[in-house]
Amino acid sequence: MKWPARRMESQKGKGFGMFEIAARLEADGADIIHLEFGRPSFDTPIHIKEATKKALDDGVVHYGDISGDIELRESLAKKLTEFNGVDTSPDQILITNGLTQASMAVFEAGVDPGDEVVMTDPFYPQHPAKVGLVGGETVTFPLAKEENWRLDGAALEEIVSEKTSMICLINPANPVGRVFTPEELSEVARVAIEKDLLVVTDEVYEYITFDGNRHVSIASLPGMAERTLSLFAFTKAYAMDGWRMGYAAGPEHLIADLRKVTMNQSTHPNVFAQKGALAAVLGPHEPVDEMVAEDKRRRDLLCSGLNEIDGVDCPTPEATIYAFPDMGDLGMTSNELAKLILAEAHVAVESGAFYGRQGEGHLRICFGSEPYERLEEAVDRIQGVLERL
C-alpha cells in the first residue's frame, strides 16, 4: 500500500503551534489564557443568528447554488463595489468555507508542482503549508521591523523568477498588524503588472483597522482588477469563525476555475449559514464597529503593559487582533520565550518564528481572543515571568 503521498512531507512541523501544548496543560487542569490564535471572543451578532434560525425553519436545508447563494453574492458584489472600490458582479464571486477554502482553491487551481509562490516574511503559516500541499515552493521577501514592516517593491522584484506563479499578500497583515498604504500596494501592483503575475490577497482583517487607518484593496488600483483574486471571510469582523463562511472575488474565468476545485471538495458551503452571512452583509454595521472599538481597548491594554517590561518593544498594531512585540533583547529565542510564558504564566502565545525568519525575536499575541479582564490578568502574569529574567 502506498501511503502517505509525498506532498504530506511538506506539512512536517506545520501544526497548530502552541495550541497543542496549551491544550495538554489544560487537560491537566491548568487555567490557560488563550492568546495564541485568532478566535474572536465575541458572540456572533444576534440578527445573524436569527436569520440563520429562520432559514432553518423555512426549510433552507437542501443543496444550493455551487457558486453560493445568489442573494448573498449580489449583496457582496455591492459591498465590493462600494466598500472595496472594485466593480464586481455576482458571477465574479464564489462563496467558500471560510477564507481557508478560498486560498486552498487558489493554490490548487493556480500552482503547478515546482511553481513558486512569492510572499512576505513574516507570513501567515497556512499559506506556505497549502503551497507545499499542492507541490509548489514558497519564496519569501523580508519585511523589516526597523522599517515598520514596509512592503518593499524592490525586494519583491528581486525574488520573482520564471518559476513564479503568483504573489500572495495579506492586507491588513497578520502577524505584523500593518495596513499597507496605497503607495506600498502600488509597488506590488507595478511588479505584478511588469512581470504579468496574478496577485492573491487575503483581506480577512479588512474591517479590523484602528486609529483611522483605512484598508485599501489592491484590486482597486489601476490595472489590478483583472489580475487579482481577493479573498475575504466573515470570520473575524462578525465573530463567525465557527460558521466557516468566506468568499473569493476576481475575474470571472478565474472564479470559474476556483469553483472547479471547491465543487469537488464540498459542492458548496452550508446553505443556512449563508443566510446568516447575508444578514451580516445587509444588517447594521454597528456590531462590527463595537467589536473593533473593544479590540482597540484591548490592544492598548496589551501594548502598554508589554512596553512596561524592560527589553520589550511592542509597536502599536494598525489593524488585526495581534500584537507582534520584539523581545529579542531578552536573550532567548522566540520558541523558548513562548514555551516559558506558557509553562510559568499559563498564558498561551505564539512564537514569532512560526511566521518566518523575520519573526524570530518576536511573539505573536492575540488581543481579540479573551475578554478585557482576562487580558489584564494575562498581562500581569507575563510581566511577572519576564521581569524575573
Chain residues binding ligand PLP by CB under 6 A are 38, 98-100, 124, 170, 174, 202, 204, 233, 235, 241, 246
* DSSP-derived 3-state class of residue 381: helix
**Residue 48 or residue 312: which is nearer to ligand PLP going by CB?**
48
Residue 67 to residues 263, 294, 315, 319, Cα–Cα distance (Å): 8, 35, 41, 30
294: nearest Cα among 373, 203, 234: 373
Residue 34 or residue 309: which is nearer to ligand PLP going by CB? 34
Least distance from ligand PLP to the Cβ atom of residue 240, Å: 8
- Residues shown for the chain: 389
Instruction: Measure the CA–CA gap between 174 and 124, rounded to whole angstroms.
Output: 6
Nearer to ligand PLP, 127 or 328 (CB): 127
- Cα separation, 258 vs 265, in Å, equals 11
**Residue 119 CB, nearest distance to ligand PLP (Å)?**
11
Q: How far is the CB of 316 from ligand PLP (least distance, A)?
A: 19
What minimum distance in Å lies between the beta carbon of 161 and ligand PLP? Answer: 25
CB of 28 to ligand PLP, least distance (A): 27
Q: How far is CA 374 from CA 41, 301, 305, 366, in A?
A: 11, 11, 13, 12
- Residue closest to ligand PLP, measured at CB: 98
Q: Rank residues 204 and 385 by Cβ distance to ligand PLP and give the closer one.
A: 204
Name the one residue in this structure whose C-alpha cell is 497578520: 174
Least distance from ligand PLP to the Cβ atom of residue 347, Å: 19
CA gap 283, 279 in Å, rounded: 5
When the beta carbons of 100 and 333 are compared against ligand PLP, the nearer one is 100
The alpha carbons of the chain give a radius of gyration, in whole angstroms, of 21
Identify the CA nearest to 151 among candidates 161, 160, 141, 159: 141
Residue 173: C-alpha distances to residues 84, 151, 168, 323, 363 (Å): 17, 11, 12, 11, 15
Amino acid making up residue 76: L
Residue listed under C-alpha cell 452550508: 270
Beta carbon of residue 166, minimum distance to ligand PLP (angstroms, whole number):
16
Residue closer to ligand PLP by CB (options 38, 90) is 38
Residue among 67 and 235 whose Cβ is closer to ligand PLP: 235
In whole angstroms, how close is the CB of 359 to ligand PLP at the nearest point? 14
Q: Name which of 322 and 385 has its Cβ closer to ligand PLP.
A: 322
312 alpha carbon, distance to own chain's centre? 25
